Amino acid sequence: MAMIYKGSEVTEALNERIANDVEELQSRGISPTLTILRVGERGDDISYEKGATKRAEKVGVAVRNVILPLDVSEDALINEILKLNADDSVHGVLMFRPLPEHIDEDKVRNMLAPAKDIDGITDLSLAGVFAGIETGFAPCTAAACMEILDYFDVECKGKQAVVVGRSLVVGKPAAMMLLDRNATVTVAHSRTADLPGVVRQADIVIACVGRAKMVDASYLSEGQIVVDVGINVLEDGSLSGDVDYAAAEAIVQAITPVPGGVGTVTTSVLMKHVVEAAKRINA
């Protein structure tokens, strides 16, 4: 039976470190502050906002909410972002996406100052991830995968890592971060020939395709560490990752569960980035 890499374990350790950092900053008169910028009333956004607010409270990060109507003009939204950029009491900004269709998302997201871009949505943050340097921040989900590997002391150096999925929010940044850790990194995807065979050879698997249980027994082999990024809603309303958990449990060395894996760590990584942003600016 596989070891279960529970997100809660990682989160607990991470929260403690963040809370200590917050205390240290507060002792210098700095209160790490996250602004959540939401356009409209989408249920997903509101539910993430609740979770993030609770997590922020736990670690001592202050949260401010900016809520704009769904029909907000592009100019008004940009103006709001520029105000947040200029506001020294705000260290990180989380802006929910997608934005409404009448807004040019590429233009708007790049208005955010990279120094406050704690979820890696600007081109300059992405360039930093690509280059392996700290211009802005990595997208939180990709960073959460690394946080899990680090917490459980998974050695990446010289290991074969396969990232299944090539999105700009998870697959590509995770690949770059694994490369920084000196893994040999393969990015596989829907066009990969013999995808099960490619994944089977990996020591470390990051599954981020967004298809429930796609990574089944045929993809897996003994000794693998599997990080399951997917959160898919099944017909019966329950959640499933991109990995067939039951099948994996019997084969691999370790796996993150869904729910209770990467997702919960992501929220703490967001807080870590806010604190890191506050530290960098006050270094």
> Mask of contacts with a copy of itself, 133-172, x by CB under 8 A?
--x---------------------xxxx-----x-x---x
Which residue, 170, 149, 178, 138, is CA-closest to 10? 149
DSSP 8-state secondary structure symbol assigned to residue 100: P
DSSP SS3 for 263: helix
- Which one of the spans 20-28, 123-131, 223-231, 232-240 is the region binding a copy of itself (CB under 8 A)? 123-131
Go through the chain and tell me how many residues it has: 283
The residue within the footprint of a copy of itself, chosen from 67, 179, 231, 247 (CB under 8 A), is: 179
255 binds a copy of itself per the rule CB under 8 A: no
One of 68, 111, 130, 260 touching a copy of itself (CB under 8 A): 130
Window 71-110: contact mask with a copy of itself (x via CB under 8 A): ----------------------------------------
Segment near a copy of itself (CB under 8 A); pick from 27-35, 43-51, 130-138, 254-262 = 130-138
Tally: H helices and E strands in the chain: 10, 11
Upper half-sphere CA count for residue 272 (Cβ side, 13 Å): 21
Which of 131, 233, 234, 246 contacts a copy of itself by CB under 8 A? 131
* Site membership for a copy of itself, residue 112 (CB under 8 A): no
Q: Which is nearer to a copy of itself, 38 or 189 (CB)?
A: 189
- 3-class DSSP assignment, residue 61: coil
Which of 150, 123, 126 shows the shortest CA–CA distance to 138? 126
Record the tokens describing residue 246, joined without a space: 């039951």
Site of tokens 């470190």: 17
Least spacing, CB of residue 254 vs a copy of itself, in Å: 20
Residue choice 129, 138, 142, 145 for contact with a copy of itself (CB under 8 A) = 129
Amino acid symbol at 89? S
Q: Is 239 in the site for a copy of itself (CB under 8 A)?
A: no
For residues 155 and 139, give the distance between their C-alpha atoms in angstroms, rounded to a whole number.
22
Taking the complex as a whole, the smallest distance from the CB of residue 146 to a copy of itself amounts, in Å, to 16
Q: Which long-range contacts (CB under 8 A, 24 or more apart) does 260-263 make?
A: 260/6, 260/7, 260/8, 261/5, 261/6, 261/7, 261/148, 261/227, 261/228, 262/7, 262/141, 262/144, 262/145, 262/148, 262/227, 262/228, 262/229, 263/7, 263/231
Does 191 help bind a copy of itself (rule: CB under 8 A)? yes
Instruction: Return the number of the residue (170 or 185) whose C-beta is nearest a copy of itself.
Output: 185
**By CB under 8 A, is residue 193 in contact with a copy of itself?**
yes
Contact 212, 232 (CB under 8 A): yes
Contacting residue, 19, 46, 66, 124, with a copy of itself by CB under 8 A: 124
Binding residues vs a copy of itself (CB under 8 A): 123-124, 126-131, 135, 157-160, 166, 168, 172, 175-176, 179, 182, 184-189, 191-193, 198
